[in-house]
């Protein structure tokens, strides 16, 4: 059986002396060469450099490094010292002198960065098709989109090329690709992971996301990466809050759900809810409408101007390699008035109060990650509307400062995966991971597209 790169399996192999980090990094590069999808990577570290890093990790020892010898991929809108950051746009590229805070923390903990991954340009999109570096192949079916904007980060984990990866999430970019690649995507509470060294999309909403094969792995990375950073004006000290032993899970009525005609995705969602009930959760009906109204503000309201503020000056100049859809979306915010900003801020406050009333009746919210998945050709023909459809269950999360965990929910007859997302109020990230772990243990299945059974990893 091929080696699984989940943390549990690698830690077991290291502890037993079966493998060393140098050997694992050699295996990783063999897999990358065999995988032969260059669109996953914007930058791949020379193998000799990664092997030298692995040797340095070994010399320091496992005791002081909680991520000892764990291979990592980094979305290319996060800085890695000495390596170009492109945000998916060659003309925008610069070479940072220091790594993003979260990248530096992971490397210090023994993780070994392998490369920087492809993305929807300027992290604008949920599709994975808006990059001059090409479209990453969905490892389950290359005719279908990999999801975005963190496309390469998700594919690298799903294909077994790295153990975990960093993405980012403003509107769902850390969750949609997880669903389409049958992996776990954790969108932490805003400010719990530093965004210093991140090319911004919407500064006040941006989160660094974690992609992993298991919920336990996602929590292990979270525990290392989280923490206050004085260099990030939106950073905060994590205040973890527990979930009750028996949780109430909010579920919207059928009339508020939209699967775009995908009956199998609807069926898998129902089965996932039943699995939660079998684990002891109480399913309660909730009203999704105020959440959806919040989501509409992200691309139809004042927050679009935040994207213009982030990179609008660059995009106003004639630049080669800029995706026309990305340019159109980002520059659409330049006409938003100050009056509109305050109107939408007040509207958000009103809607947030309505959602807070919902949380008095539930501890978790369980929704489909997306209603369906699209072919690459479909998205190319209708890029804005189909992208909007994919954000139905994701766009409101950051505006409401929820934490969210995308988990697999099963496979369709055509072999494509579907996903469910568990959400909770800020600070309950660890509780989400714990419930996600219980759910994933019950679900079983395979780890990403590796073909390795979840139950087949070492205890």
- Please confirm, yes or no, whether 9 is among the known catalytic residues: no
Round to whole Å and give the CA distance between 441 and 215: 10
Q: How far apart are CA 71 and CA 366, in angstroms?
A: 31
Catalytic residue among 173, 194, 235, 409: 173
**Set 149, 150, 165, 409: catalytic member:** 149
Give the integer Cα–Cα distance in Å for 457 and 440. 13
Active site residue 173: yes
* Cβ proximity of 409 and 444 under 8 Å: no
Which one from 9, 75, 116, 187 is the annotated catalytic residue? 75
* CA nearest to 115, candidates 55, 145, 71, 170: 71
Distance between CA atoms of residues 457 and 447, nearest Å: 10
Q: Which two tokens stand for residue 409?
A: 């929910």
Residue 393 in tokens: 């269950």
CA distance 300 to 303: 8
Q: Is 282 helix (H, G, I), strand (E, B) or coil?
A: strand
Sign of CA dihedral 305, 311, 317, 323: negative
Give every CB contact of residue 37 below 8 A, 6+ residues apart in sequence. 136, 137, 155, 159
Whether the Cβ atoms of residue 406 and residue 428 lie closer than 8 Å to each other: no
Nearest CA to 201 out of 167, 229, 162 is that of 167
Pair 112, 72: CB distance under 8 Å: yes
Residue 158 among the catalytic residues: no
Residue 58, H or E segment: helix 47-60
Q: How far apart are CA 187 and CA 206, in angstroms?
A: 10
> How far is the C-alpha of 163 from the C-alpha of 419, rounded, in Å?
20
Q: Give per-residue burial for 328-342: e unless 16+ CB within 10 Å, then b.
A: ebbbebeebeeeeee
CA distances to 192, 216, 236, 237, 425 from 240, rounded to whole Å, are: 10, 16, 12, 9, 11
Residues annotated as catalytic (active site), given as ranges: 75, 149, 173
């Amino acid at each position: 059986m091929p080696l699984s790169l989940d943390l549990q399996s690698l830690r077991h192999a290291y502890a037993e002396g079966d493998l060393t980090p140098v050997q694992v990094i050699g295996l990783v590069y063999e897999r990358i060469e065999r995988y032969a999808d260059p669109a996953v990577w914007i930058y791949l570290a020379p193998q000799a450099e990664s092997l030298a890093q692995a040797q340095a990790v070994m010399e320091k020892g496992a005791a002081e490094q909680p991520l000892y010898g764990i291979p990592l991929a980094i979305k290319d809108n996060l800085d890695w010292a000495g390596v170009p950051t492109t945000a998916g746009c060659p003309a925008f590229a610069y070479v940072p002198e220091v790594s993003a805070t979260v990248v530096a923390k992971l490397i210090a903990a023994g993780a070994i960065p392998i490369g920087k991954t492809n993305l929807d340009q300027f992290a604008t999109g949920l599709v994975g098709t808006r990059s001059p570096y090409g479209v990453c192949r969905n490892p389950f079916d290359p005719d279908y989109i990999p999801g975005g904007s963190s496309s390469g980060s998700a594919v690298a984990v799903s294909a077994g090329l790295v153990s975990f990866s960093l993405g980012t999430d403003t509107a769902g970019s850390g969750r949609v690709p997880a669903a389409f690649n049958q992996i776990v995507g954790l969108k932490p509470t805003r400010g719990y992971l530093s965004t210093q060294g991140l090319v911004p999309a919407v500064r006040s909403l941006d989160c660094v996301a974690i992609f992993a094969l298991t919920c336990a792995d996602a929590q292990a990375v979270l525990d290392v990466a989280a923490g206050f950073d004085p260099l990030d004006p939106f950073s905060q000290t994590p205040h973890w809050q527990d979930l009750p032993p028996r949780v109430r899970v909010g579920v919207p009525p059928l009339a508020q759900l939209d699967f775009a005609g995908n009956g199998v995705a609807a069926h898998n969602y129902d089965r996932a809810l039943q699995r939660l009930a079998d684990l002891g959760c109480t399913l309660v009906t909730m009203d999704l409408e105020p959440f959806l109204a919040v989501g509409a503000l992200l691309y139809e309201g004042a927050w679009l101007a935040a994207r213009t503020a982030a990179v609008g000056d660059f995009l106003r100049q004639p630049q080669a390699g800029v995706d026309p859809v990305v340019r159109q979306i980002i520059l659409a915010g330049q006409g938003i008035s100050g009056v509109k900003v305050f109107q939408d801020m007040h509207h958000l406050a009103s809607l947030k109060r309505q959602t807070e009333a919902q949380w008095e009746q539930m501890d978790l919210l369980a929704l489909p990650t997306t209603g369906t998945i699209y072919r690459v050709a479909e998205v190319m023909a209708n890029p804005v509307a189909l992208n909007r459809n994919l954000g139905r269950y994701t766009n409101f999360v950051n505006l409401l400062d929820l934490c969210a965990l995308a988990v697999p929910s099963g496979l369709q007859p055509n072999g494509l995966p579907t996903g469910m997302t568990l959400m909770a109020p800020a600070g309950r990230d660890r509780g989400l991971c714990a419930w996600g772990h219980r759910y994933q243990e019950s679900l079983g299945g395979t780890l990403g597209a590796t073909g390795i059974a979840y139950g087949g990893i070492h205890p």
